Amino acid sequence: MNTEITFSDGGCTCRFVRYRMTSKPLFVHCCHCRWCQRETGTAFALNALIEADRVQLLQGEVEVVDTPSNSGKGQKISRCPRCHIAVWSNYAGGGDAVRFVRVGTLDDPDRCPPDIHIYTASKQPWVVLPVGTPAVPEYYRASEHWPKESLERRAALLARSRQQ
């Protein structure tokens, strides 16, 4: 991997935490579950899923906060220790290997529109989903929606984690 490549930098509001995504994400979720609504204080969360080693901390440090999750297995939310803005999460499913980067913390969030809308069963009724983007009432299978390249990256990640 060429670490000189930058997809987008990002960071918190007080600018203590600065990070870099070194490639495009695997997939982007727009999650309409009630948990994401509560955690963001708004209608949905926008998360870019990416291998942890493709997110470089350029400056500062993150405080990892154990937070309950819908699955009951919990999530670890990485926050700026000063302004407490959340920059990414790790869920039990993907473990520490996959980060869910909060798209709104990217300097260029427009580069990460949703690839799928999930948990639309609890979508706030005024949110109108765009035609042409997949939407599912709850969760989905990556093999049915992710592009081939992302599935290959996921397979490489799983192979690496088995070797460790």
The residue ranges that bind Zn ion (CB under 5 A) are 12, 14, 16, 31, 33, 36, 80, 82-83
Q: Is the CB of 5 or the CB of 83 nearer to Zn ion?
A: 83
Considering beta carbons, is residue 24 or 82 the nearer one to Zn ion? 82
**Shortest distance (Å) from residue 119 CB to Zn ion:** 6
Residue nearer to Zn ion on the CB measure, 82 or 111: 82
Minimum CB separation from Zn ion for residue 8, in Å? Answer: 18
Closest distance to Zn ion from the beta carbon of 153 (Å) = 23
Q: Residue 23 or residue 129: which is nearer to Zn ion going by CB?
A: 129
Residue 19 has which token pair? 């990070």
CB of 35 to Zn ion, least distance (A): 5
